[in-house]
Structure 1
Amino acid sequence: MQVSRRDALRYAAAASAVVGLGATAATHAPTANAAAPTLIDFAMRQIPAQDIRAAGHAGVINYVSTSRPGSSFGAKPITLPYARSLTAAGLVIVSNYQYGKPGGTAPSDFTRGYPGGVADARTGWNLHTAAGGGRNAPIYFSVDDDVDRHTWDTLVLPWFRGINSVLGVQRTGIYGGIKPCQWAAAEGVIGKSRTPGKVWAWQTRSWSQGQIFPGAVLYQRIIDTASNPGPLVGGSRVDVNDVLAQDCGQWNFHP
């Protein structure tokens, strides 16, 4: 991607103002490691910015989707006042969309194919912009399941095509295991980071067999479960994600 000198200086200035996303992430490490800057993701409640900073994290990946029927997650969707509090504390924000879930009160979003992708992209973008999200920032859409190639080809790929029809490829990202991240990159349905060799792939440790996709910008290393609780931040259990690229789709990098 060609960047003008003026844009390069603007992005460099933005990067220097980002807590924790400096030289370490700029090297776009090929593997995740505990020394990388970290972002947390969570749904239960809005964790105060000062608690996130005190825990040593650089920011959050927050939902631009609403709660499923029968649930009421305090951090879904991100709100403008909360986003402003995070930004004022020097923390970065990355957007993620997930409404349904396997075994939940609403099915996985990708099961609704192309029309579902159109609807989810519209909802996600409306909530993203209402909270002050960057107009050029991506939204990561969740494939929170161990999908095989047939499911990818018949359901997930059409869903992403629907998302692309609303947002365009460059504002579309994926959350999932290593195979969906690889397939999304190969099919050209997710955009490119400004960090060379990186795409909008947020990879989870689940279903990844200990491997990390070299193109990923984020890696979900700690997953909060009942049997293996995540760390407490501000009194809430969280997932922890290693930042593998200076440009991981944070709002302030994509105004």
Structure 2
Amino acid sequence: MPDTAPIVKSVRDKVSDAEWEVRVDLAAFYRLVAHYGWDDLTATHISARVPGEDAFLLNPHGLFFDEITASSLVKVDYDNNVLLDGGYPINQAGFTIHSAVLSGRPDVTCAAHTHTRAGMAVSAMKDGLLPLAQTALRFHNRLSYHDYEGVALDHSERERLIGHLGKNKAMILRNHGLLTCGESVSETFNLLFYLEKSCQLQVDCLGSGRELHLPDEETCEFTAQQFDKFSPLGKRDWPGLLRKLDRIDPGFRA
């Protein structure tokens, strides 16, 4: 299938090799979110730190996720100054959330936020994410929560966002959606994939109306510690995911 995204002039000759590699991976992340049906028209956002610069990349607000390319990503600094763009603005709520995570957590290089049906459903449940299966146990005692404050346009919310995230790499934004962050684009995607899957499972289980069996606390924590030893996860899957995208439409690399 040919790429039919709006034409955005290539910035390949305007950025470093390291930045271009991040741009390609981040564009791939957007395409994967669209592929798996986690997008929300032009809302929600994924960011990545620009190597060697005090800046990060964010999606152009106005393009759908299956239209985003490496060149169309917007480079912005932490004072909300656009440094390089393809003619589209950024989502200001996205700036608030991602500038908070990337400035407050120097150990992570990428962050993702979604409004999926299952993610929003669990975000509205008082008990939050339940330890229903191995996918959810990965996040046991390693998942943060942030109460809803309205559309994230108030920059004062950044302090509370990063405070609630703490040292974790995944957070449920109550009555809102999901957020993950990682040491790489691949780890952030992997965390989001399994957090989303855990939420889908929970909605399915609760909708069945059957009595649920939950593992005991000792088993939950033991399993989470096993996942800690494997971390960061996602690196092994990432090349295959890029191959998948190349088969569907390699236009994200432009």
TM-score between the two structures when normalised by the length of structure 2: 0.27
Name the one with the larger helix percent.
2
Question: Between Structure 1 and Structure 2, whose CA radius of gyration is higher?
Answer: 2
Normalised TM-score (structure 1)? 0.27
